[in-house]
Amino acid sequence: MNIPPITNIETALTVYYSHAELGNAEIRKLFGKLSPTTVARLKRIVKDQMCERDIASFGSHTVNTEIAYMVWGIDVETLERRLQKLRELQLEPVS
């Protein structure tokens, strides 16, 4: 499955550090406007990985944030480094 691009670095980091689990609203905040089918597909690939790792979810409609970012290829350390560089250069993150 193709993973959509994140909306912006600050949002991706805020979502990561603010939520232990992600629901539809957080996924849409992370990736922007998505169809319900796309959100369900994104969650399904994370749920599959959670099952393989024997990681339970707090809610039946949410997925573990750390596993989700890993599965979707979102590297938090890289995002933090990029955001720091943008701030050093006094540039605004692109939305």
Q: What is the pLDDT of residues 18-55, one digit of tens each?
A: 999 999 999 999 999 999 999 999 999 999 999 999 99
* Number of separate helices (H) and strands (E) present in the chain: 5, 2
3 is a domain residue: no
Structural domain range at position 78: 9-88
Q: Residue 53 falls within a domain, yes or no?
A: yes
CA–chain centroid gap for 28, Å, is: 9
Q: Is 92 helix (H, G, I), strand (E, B) or coil?
A: coil
The answer to the question of residue 1 being in a domain is no
Q: What is the total count of domains within the chain?
A: 1
DSSP state at residue 67: H
Check: CB of residue 61 under 8 Å from CB of residue 71: no
> For the chain, what percent of residues have pLDDT higher than 70?
96
Decide if 27 is inside a domain.
yes
Q: Quote the pTM value.
A: 0.90
> For residue 94, is it within any domain?
no
DSSP states of 20-39 = SEE-HHHHHHHH-S--HHHH
**Under a CB-based contact definition with an 8 Å cutoff, are residues 38 and 4 in contact?**
yes
Could you report the per-residue pLDDT of 54-65, keeping only the tens digit for each? 999 888 899 999
CATH code: domain of residue 78:
1.10.238
Instruction: Check pLDDT > 70 for residue 95.
Output: no
pLDDT category of residue 90 using cuts at 50, 70 and 90: confident
Residue % of the chain over a pLDDT of 90 = 82
